[in-house]
Every structure is written in C-alpha cells, then in structure tokens.
C-alpha cells in the first residue's frame, strides 16, 4: 500500500495538509456529479482538492482529477472547464540502454480558480511541517506526524473557531515513539534466543486488528482521535 496524496488547505499565509474532517457539505467531485476512479496507488479516491479560508469563509479553490468512471463525464463547475494537466520526465531508451528519453504525458484534468464558497458545517483538521522520520507507507498522514496541527470549525461555510491541537499531537507522538521503542526492545530481546518465526507469531496482531488499522490509516474522520490526548 502507499501513502495517499492529501488535500490542501490555505489559511492565512500558510499551506496545510488536510488530515481529517467531520461534518456535512464539504464539496468534492461527487458534489458536482463527477465520479473519479483510482488515479494511482497514491490516490485511490482519484482526486486532490484545494480549499482556502478567506475572510472567515471556506472556499473550494481547485480540483485535480485523474480519471473518471465510464458512466461519468467532465462538466463545467461554476462556469470553469477543466484543463488537461501535462507532466514531463525521462525514461530509459529501449534501443540504447543508458540513454534517457524525454517524455510528456497527460496527468488528469484540473479545475482552477473555482473560488466556490462552501456551506460546510463541522471541523477540518490541518497539519503542516511533516516529520519525515514518522512517515508511514500507507493511507493519510495523522496528527502525530505534524509539528503544527489546527482544528478549524465552521458553520454553514463560515469559520467560527480555531483550536490549536499541536500539544495533543505532540503527546500522541511521544506515545507512538515510546511504543515503537518498547517494541524494538522486545525484538532485540528475542533475536539470538528464539527462532524468528516464533517472534513473528507473537508480534503479529490478529487479522481483525490489522484490518481495522488499515481502515483507520485511510480514514479522514477524526471524531475520536483526540479522546486520549
């Protein structure tokens, strides 16, 4: 599995990653009858959105969509037609190994400058300054992986409160690191004393717990994330 590309949120002069939300009416491609399909292993849901907080209001700024379901079609949003995105890179020449060949390909379509006001009621959790040492190769980033974490609360599209969750995220991070170190000590204690297959049997979580862990990694519903912190 692969870490997923997060949505972006601009607040003040800073860019944040959207790491969670709860509530109603946060616009997505489906809001406009557009049905994305898997874009890549880094974007299973098929799109990346950008939102902006302007004058205490939450706006949808852009939508970058990779591919559409066969029964869906590109349509204008707020009078804006999607523009084809092109990427450039290099590949190795089949005829001459070692020679790099320039390539250009389509990489979905993007709706720019939408500037659409939302009527979102609920909360958006955003983070910035990702801690690379805590990267997990699965799902979306979680609060403990960011130095700064803010909760933005909205009512019908207007921001009504801002809560700094950075200290709670730091407490969560400390617990994750402590748990990891304890697990490492456990592994170090086994190595050389017992067969590795016994170590794997003892350290592997039950299947149901592993599935719940995967589901949690891909979830953006942060309703219960701060209960212990």
C-alpha span between 45 and 73 (Å, rounded): 16
Q: What angle do CA 150, 154, 160 make, to 5 degrees?
A: 85
Strands 8-11 and 47-54, bridge-based pairing:
parallel
Q: What is the mean pLDDT of residues 186-204?
A: 57
Do residues 134 and 145 make contact, with C-beta atoms less than 8 angstroms apart?
yes
SS3 133: helix
Least-confidence region, from 131-145, 149-163, 188-202: 188-202
93-116: per-residue pLDDT in tens? 777 777 777 888 889 999 999 999
Least-confidence region, from 3-7, 182-186, 197-201: 197-201
The pLDDT, as a whole number, for residue 122 is 97
Reported as a pLDDT band with limits 50, 70 and 90, residue 228 is: low
SS3 66: coil
Contact residues for 44 (Cβ-Cβ < 8 A; gap 6+): 4, 38, 218
What are the strands, taking DSSP E only, across 66-220?
67-68, 83-92, 100-111, 116-117, 121-130, 146-155, 158-164
Q: How many CA atoms lie within 13 A of 107 on its CB side?
A: 12
The pTM of the full predicted model, rounded to 2 decimals, is: 0.85
The pLDDT, as a whole number, for residue 205 is 64
SS3 210: helix
Given a cut of 60, whether residue 201 has pLDDT beyond it is no
35-56: per-residue pLDDT in tens? 999 999 999 999 999 999 998 8
C-alpha span between 46 and 157 (Å, rounded): 25
The pLDDT, as a whole number, for residue 179 is 85
């Amino acid at each position: 599995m692969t870490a997923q590309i997060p949505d972006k949120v601009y607040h003040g002069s800073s860019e944040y990653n959207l790491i969670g939300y709860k509530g109603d009416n946060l616009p997505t491609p489906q809001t406009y009858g557009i049905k994305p399909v898997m874009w890549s292993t880094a974007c299973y849901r098929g799109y990346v959105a950008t939102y902006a907080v302007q004058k205490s209001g939450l706006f949808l700024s852009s939508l970058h969509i990779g591919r559409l379901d066969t029964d869906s079609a590109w349509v204008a949003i707020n009078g804006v037609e999607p523009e084809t995105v092109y990427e450039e890179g290099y590949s190795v020449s089949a005829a001459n190994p070692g020679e790099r060949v320039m390539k250009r390909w389509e990489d979905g379509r993007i709706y720019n400058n939408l500037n659409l006001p939302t009527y979102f009621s609920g909360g958006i959790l955003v983070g910035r300054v990702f801690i690379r040492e805590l990267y997990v190769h699965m799902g979306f980033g979680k609060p403990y992986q960011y130095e700064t974490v803010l909760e933005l609360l909205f009512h019908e599209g207007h921001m009504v409160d801002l809560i700094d969750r950075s200290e709670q995220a730091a407490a969560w991070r400390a617990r994750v690191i402590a748990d990891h170190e304890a697990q490492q000590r456990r592994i170090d204690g086994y190595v050389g004393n017992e067969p590795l297959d016994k170590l794997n049997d003892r350290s592997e979580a039950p299947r149901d717990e592993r599935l719940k862990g995967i589901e949690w990694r891909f979830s953006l519903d942060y309703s219960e994330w701060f209960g212990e912190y």
